[in-house]
Amino acid sequence: MSKEQFLWGSATAAYQCEGAWNEDNKGASVWDDFCHSDANTTGITGDVSCDFYHHYAEDIRLMAEGGQNTFRFSISWSRIVPKEDHAVNEAGLAFYDRVLDECEKYGIVPNVTLVHYDLPDYIGRKGGWCYDGVSDEFAYYTSVVFRHFGNRIPLYVTINEPNHNAYCNYCVGNYPPNEKNNLQDYAHCAYNMMVCNAKAIREFRRLNLAGSQIGIVQGCGPATALKDTPEYLEAVKFCNYFCNFCFLDPAIRGYYEPDLIEAVRSRGIDLSFVKQEDLDIMKDNTVDFLGQNIYSRLLVKPNESGVTAFTVNNAGNNDGTGKTARETRAISGWFETDRDPSTKLNHWGREIYPRCAYDTLMLRKERYGDIPIYVTENGHGCYDVADENGYVEDDERIEFLENYLHYILKAKEDGVNVKGYYVWSTMDLYSWINGYKKRYGLVRVDYDDENLRRIPKKSYYWYKNFIEEHKDI
């Protein structure tokens, strides 16, 4: 991978696109279990999705034809180590070898996430991310991946959005194991994720893979507020402890700030799961780069309601009509979500605020210096309307991407070490609890067609042109 080449691409995740959920000896993941259970009230699953497992060659060819030089995807842990016995599934490795062959054919740089929400079911049954053995399991699985693929993969990511994953699992309760308002388990999960991150990095460093780097992907930006009174700044601080610093400080700096530990303890959270030996491993095993997903702003104010409550853009009675849509994140005494009446919301209640891209990147630089940053996801979910040929004129998505990119490139000009950018998503795929109606792809997937026909959207061509105009930045 040329150091100077800016990476322009798009992103997917295994459960959301692969399908083939039980093919070629794949084990079940917690998402397979959840989607097949009564807890999944929609009945919608990722069993087939857009069937990337069988369409990968076409999808990667379309990326290349669209001028993209990088592809972010994730490996399904359950394909590689399907069962508790730790036997490695050669067919799983072979699938990703085929994907990498295809990337190499077109000079597309793979950016590969080791876990994107889909823990194996056997770990889920033991307590998932709150199972204290999860970090040794993750170290084992990731060492299998590092040994097999080595520096064929120049960019590895340990965990996708630990913040959002922990939040949905244990606060909102919309992701398995579907626990609500459980701050004790949220803290435990967040900590175990950072032990996982550090132990995987230790395995990675042991192999000394020349030319490969390893990072982590964060799902939200730094908290911000509409006022800078001491009360508002306190709310920002606590929200950052909760959503950002408890992940990024150990991952990037190798330690937690004592104030953060104290704040968590003073809420009555039992921190007996913290072990000195884990902290030592974190100290010695930090990331090479940060992947930053950018969707919306984390706008907060002091929590005056005294309420602790959490909803996201796909929870409860929110059906994408925009009528009842609202995202809430509130911890009594700490902070709660604020709303800026001057900005628009998308159909799922998420704020559209392009400038957050600039603020996020600048604030990351302020705290973490010149760390290389890849914008690992940026995209717009909407109801696409196709014409009789399946073509979608997604001007709304183009406007979204154009406006966000303006601020991302401005942050790069202003000194942030931005190395690449990925549209979420490469093609239409499963959108977790939102199912298939909420689409993000640059390429439409016709789910009614038995061959799951791919039709590039207007945004695909727009992006191709944008890359062409910005390839030498």
Which residues neighbour 109 within 8 Å (Cβ) at sequence distance 6 or greater? 1, 5, 7, 9, 69, 70, 71, 103, 154, 155
Burial environment of residue 286 by CB neighbours within 10 A (0 to 12, 13 to 18, 19 or more): buried
Which residues 36-55 are close enough to bind ligand BG6 by CB under 6 A? none
Question: Is 457 an interacting residue with respect to ligand BG6 (CB under 6 A)?
Answer: no
**Stretch of residues binding ligand BG6 (CB under 6 A), selected from 136-144, 160-168, 364-372, 387-395:** 160-168
What is the smallest separation between the CB atom of 453 and ligand BG6, expressed in angstroms? 22
What mask of x and - would describe binding to ligand BG6 in positions 282 to 301, judged by CB under 6 A?
A: -----------x--------
Residue 280 CA to residue 247 CA, distance in Å, equals 16
Which residues 129-158 are close enough to bind ligand BG6 by CB under 6 A? none
Range list of β-strands (E), 45-108: 70-74
What is the smallest separation between the CB atom of 208 and ligand BG6, expressed in angstroms? 30
Question: Is 397 an interacting residue with respect to ligand BG6 (CB under 6 A)?
Answer: no
Q: Which token pair is 71?
A: 């592809």
Residue 139 CA to residue 193 CA, distance in Å, equals 11
Q: Which token pair is 207?
A: 């192999």
Residue 426 CA to residue 460 CA, distance in Å, equals 9
What is the smallest separation between the CB atom of 219 and ligand BG6, expressed in angstroms? 5
| Residue closest to 21 by CA, chosen among 8, 30, 11, 9 | 30
Q: Which token pair is 264?
A: 């968590």
Question: Is 179 an interacting residue with respect to ligand BG6 (CB under 6 A)?
Answer: no
Q: For ligand BG6, which is the closer residue by CB, 33 or 428?
A: 428
Tell me whether residue 366 is one of the annotated catalytic residues. Answer: no
Residue 155 CA to residue 283 CA, distance in Å, equals 21
Count of residues near ligand BG6 by CB under 6 A: 15
Measure Cα distances from 151 to 54, 154, 283, 418 in Å: 25, 6, 24, 22
Residue 26 CA to residue 120 CA, distance in Å, equals 10
SS3 of 94-144: the string is HHHHHHHHHHHHHCCEEEEEEECCCCEHHHHCCCHHHCCCHHHHHHHHHHH
What size, in residues, is the chain? 473
Q: Which token pair is 364?
A: 């990351």
Q: Which of 18, 137, 161, 327 is catalytic?
A: 161
What is the smallest separation between the CB atom of 113 and ligand BG6, expressed in angstroms? 9
Tell me whether residue 18 is one of the annotated catalytic residues. Answer: no
Which residues 313-332 are close enough to bind ligand BG6 by CB under 6 A? 314
Which residues 377-396 are close enough to bind ligand BG6 by CB under 6 A? 377, 381
Q: For ligand BG6, which is the closer residue by CB, 111 or 160?
A: 160
Q: For ligand BG6, which is the closer residue by CB, 167 or 407?
A: 167
Q: Which token pair is 395?
A: 């001007």
Question: Is 165 an interacting residue with respect to ligand BG6 (CB under 6 A)?
Answer: no
Q: CB nearest ligand BG6: which residue?
A: 431
Question: Is 246 an interacting residue with respect to ligand BG6 (CB under 6 A)?
Answer: no
Q: For ligand BG6, which is the closer residue by CB, 168 or 195?
A: 168
Strands 155-160 and 109-115: parallel
What is the smallest separation between the CB atom of 169 and ligand BG6, expressed in angstroms? 13
What is the smallest separation between the CB atom of 223 and ligand BG6, expressed in angstroms? 17
Question: Is 365 an interacting residue with respect to ligand BG6 (CB under 6 A)?
Answer: no
Task: Say if CB 44 and CB 436 are below 8 A apart.
Answer: yes
Interface pick for ligand BG6 out of 33, 161, 249, 336 (rule CB under 6 A): 161
Residue-wise over 272-284: b if at least 16 C-beta within 10 A, else e? eebeeebbebbee
What mask of x and - would describe binding to ligand BG6 in positions 419 to 438, judged by CB under 6 A?
A: -----x------xx-x---x
Interface pick for ligand BG6 out of 92, 219, 354, 441 (rule CB under 6 A): 219
What is the smallest separation between the CB atom of 200 and ligand BG6, expressed in angstroms? 18
Q: For ligand BG6, which is the closer residue by CB, 92 or 381?
A: 381
Question: Is 164 an interacting residue with respect to ligand BG6 (CB under 6 A)?
Answer: yes
Q: For ligand BG6, which is the closer residue by CB, 301 or 457?
A: 457
Burial environment of residue 318 by CB neighbours within 10 A (0 to 12, 13 to 18, 19 or more): buried
Could you list the active site residues? Answer: 161, 377
By CB under 6 A, name the binding residues for ligand BG6: 13, 16, 160-161, 164, 219, 293, 314, 377, 381, 424, 431-432, 434, 438
